[in-house]
Amino acid sequence: MNSQALAPGLYVRGLTPPLRLADFRLVAFDMDSTLINIECVDEIAEAAGRKAEVAAITEAAMRGEITDFKDSLRRRVALLAGVPVTAMEEVYARHLQLNPGVEAFVQACQAAGLKTLLVSGGFTFFSDRVRQRLGLDFARANVLEIEDGRLTGRLVDRPWGDIVDGAEKRRVVLEVCELMGVEPAQAIAVGDGANDLPMMQVAGLSVAFHAKPAVREQAMVSIESGGMDRLLQLLT
């Protein structure tokens, strides 16, 4: 990566800091391993005794080694069949935490007048709670099908499509920009996995947060140690 170390664990590429946070109008976040500390699908799989199997697929997908994200997600969700909703509630209560610096950075964006978007290949069971917790403006994620208090191993089709993959993340960012009447260049996109690259590529500022190598190599900013609030060292 042709990048400059602004500080230990903070790299920039093709940028001359500082930038004005108020010059941006939208910030879009991935959820799993970006806003929060876990991959929710992996933690749910533990209740089914399939965590190692599911986590291996997740890791390969996030590294870009599995290019069909939709297929990889369907495979993982199918392995969750029979898991009770109470297991997801336990994941949220016992395992899910906001990543360091997330609250501070989100609050700084809100104070500067940016709209906030969570766009996730994960699940609304968690994204709805994270959205409420952080006071985010918009969210899109996948819906797990539940019958009789247990997961069926399927996803629920939505009016916009079936699965939030990289292409859908990109489309949502562009759609929200259009609805707001702003240019994609006025958007910030923050993610960690290969399925975040499409939205990062259309944003004016792309940020890799403790990301996979392929994502670090393409992002304008890479935070490799410390919290998300380290972005405020670049954005005044």
Catalytic residues: 30, 32
164: nearest Cα among 139, 192, 185: 139
Map residue 52 onto helix, strand or coil.
helix
Query: In the chain, which residue ranges form alpha helices assigned H by DSSP?
Result: 40-47, 51-62, 69-78, 85-94, 102-111, 124-134, 166-180, 197-202, 213-218
Considering just the CA atoms, what is the radius of gyration of the chain in Å? 17
Q: Determine the 3-state secondary structure of 17 from DSSP.
A: coil
Contact 27, 135 (CB under 8 A): no
d(CA 178, CA 198): 17
Report how far residue 217's alpha carbon sits from residue 1's, in angstroms, rounded to the nearest whole number. 5
Tokens 């360091």 sit on residue: 100
Distance CA 18, CA 187 (A): 16
Q: How far is residue 77's CA from residue 88's CA, in Å, rounded to a whole number? A: 13
Beta-sheet pairing, 187-191 with 26-29: parallel
